[in-house]
Amino acid sequence: MSDGCCCSIDETNGQQSSISSEKAPSLWRDVGFLCSIISGALWLPGALIEWLGLGEWPIWIYGVALLVGAYTFVPKALRRLVRQRGLRRLGIGLLMTIAAVGAVFLGHVGEAAALAFLFSISETLEERAMRRARRSLSSLLALIPDTAQVIRLGKQQEIPVKDIVEGEILVIGAGERIPTDGVVVTGKTSVNNSALTGESIPIEVEPNSPILAGAINGAGVITVRATARGEDNSLTQIVHLVEQAQANKGTRARLADRIAAPLVPIILVVACAIAGFGFVIGQPELWIERALVVLVAASPCALALAVPVTVISAIGAASKLGVVFKSGAAFEEFGTIRTVVFDKTGTLTQNRPEVVSVHTCPGFSREQVCEAAAALEIQSKHPLADAVVAQVGRIPLADQVVELSGFGLQGLVNRQKVRVGSPRWIESTELEHQIHSMTTQGMVVIVVEIENTVAGLLGIRDELRPEVSEVISTLHQQGLTTVMLTGDHKETAQTLAAQAGITTVYAEQLPATKAERITELRAQQPTAMLGDGTNDAPALAAATIGIAMGATGTAAAVESADIAFTGTDLRLFPKALAHARRGRAIMVTNIALALLIILGLFPLALFGILGLTSVVLIHEIAEVVIILLGMQAAKTPQSFAKSGATASEPTALVSS
């Protein structure tokens, strides 16, 4: 943080921050704060003694106050001066150092001491504000316990969490936190993921259920097989992503830097020109003094602060509520979104397809149709296969099963030839009306054929998430356009879109054409894409902002996205959007305020209306205001934190 508000100007090198380990000392152990207080405590009686005209004591008191206050920024400014090559990246602390030294040479030791005191106190407040903003993220790591119970060599023993290796069996007692990502081996319980995903409803887990690091176990005792090391799980990776986001600046951060960075050398040149003008007209002392005041008045300290505090505060707050911004740019651009594109399966729907309708033809029973279909589908990896299999208790054996990609399966069941697949593959003219009726109800229709005769139809539907209609309605009220993008049949897609309240639908889309559609929409206005599958990755990358449903999303989707939801509750989306819009408004306000301060103070300083102390005081008050405004971005709507949840199985946000 150091060197006179130079933090924002200086972190374009992309270095990793150390947010998780940063901890602000208490006020009375903070050297910078103590120096500022001592400097102020000396300057005030010095000013009083000078006003009372009690001898030469004030100059000595001012001198000590100046040295103590200057200790907080002068050494850093000089070190930076030695390190830098050229004038473009000189710090604001250097301007203050020059102003203080110049004031002393002109005999204004009291004003120099006031400058040192006020600037040092603003530096301390700035540093503590940034630490406080960053510290909100480190609280996530506190969700991981220090030790864990593991089974090694047949015995249960306690080890540090950092020593957990992948594949190890953990014993999780009632009420304990999960130390790392894993899969339940034995036992049934409920887990609370609210601190991770924002989902307030506990989730039931049983053997083979995935479980997240940092979740709180309920009343049951379970054993868990670790799927990630203790030091590298979904929670630590969330922190890593947000650390990167806080290090990578957004458009306005870069804009503020582009303005602030060249201002320092420009101000130095202008100040030298003003001082030179004084020598030309024969009033060097007067114009050197004004040059020093201009030096301080035009310093871009407040501008350098305008964005970083806001971005860090907002991103840190959002991460604790289940929304992970992977860059400052993503946070800023999210607030500009005007079109939202939703993938259907797993995003708008629950990603749990179920057979909701079975139509049988004369001569065939429901049991016969379902068993024949399940016998083939149990050997398929198609997403709908599990829904068919789940309908049958006893599944007969099937021989010579062949899966024809894009069509269906065929094989022998009880020595009878069976085909299961799309109506486009299995001719079913006599059932066209029934197929159309099922399709218009949002079902995917599977035709079952036994011995070259159509035996029946299975209607499978992936139901919409219960909160979808509410979310779409809220987005429309916010003035956004909503679009559904899916590979499903047109009729099925349009039916589900109508239920959700989405008016624009692009159906039967391949991954490549999804990306093309997103590119077309993005050309019209800023567009966000929300998806969760591997086939969504190209579209997520093509969007202005790609958003991955983290709790169910694949690693490819999360990697391609700019934002990840660690939970599956879509109500996070409009609330996260409102959060980003509010943060963006704060950034714009801060930048405008910082520029107004510079533009307003410059002429007042140039024409001698304001002196050095007054200019410094106004500048530092403006900085405090900007810091306080920026920290407001850490506040989120109460409804954000209290958002309900859909019951869903959690998995790791980012695979290791």
Classify strands 203-205 and 189-192 as parallel, antiparallel or unpaired.
antiparallel
Side-chain-side CA neighbours of 411 within 13 Å: the count stands at 22
Structure tokens at 21: 């380990």
CA dihedral 507, 568, 230, 313 (to 10 degrees): 110
Burial class for 386, CB neighbours closer than 10 Å (0-12, 13-18, 19+)? middle
Structure tokens at 79: 């070190």
Q: How many residues does the chain have?
A: 656
> Considering just the CA atoms, what is the radius of gyration of the chain in Å?
32
On whether the CB atoms of residues 33 and 27 are closer than 8 A, the answer is: yes
Dist CA 425 CA 519 (whole Å): 33
Structure tokens at 498: 């109508």
Dist CA 139 CA 390 (whole Å): 42
Q: ∠ CA 216-220-223 to the nearest 5 degrees?
A: 80
> How many of the other CB atoms lie within 10 Å of CB of 546?
29
208: Cα separation from own chain's centroid: 29
| Residues with active-site annotation | 343
Dist CA 211 CA 445 (whole Å): 34
Dist CA 608 CA 75 (whole Å): 30
Structure tokens at 631: 């920290």
Q: Which residues pair with 158 in a beta bridge?
A: 149
Amino acid in position 384: L
Q: ∠ CA 361-364-368 to the nearest 5 degrees?
A: 125
Dist CA 161 CA 203 (whole Å): 24
Q: Secondary structure of 479-509 in the HEC alphabet?
A: CCEEEEECCCCHHHHHHHHHHHCCCEEECCC
The H or E element that residue 565 is part of is strand 563-565
CB proximity list for 428: less than 8 A, separation 6 or greater:
435, 447, 454, 457
Dist CA 44 CA 30 (whole Å): 21
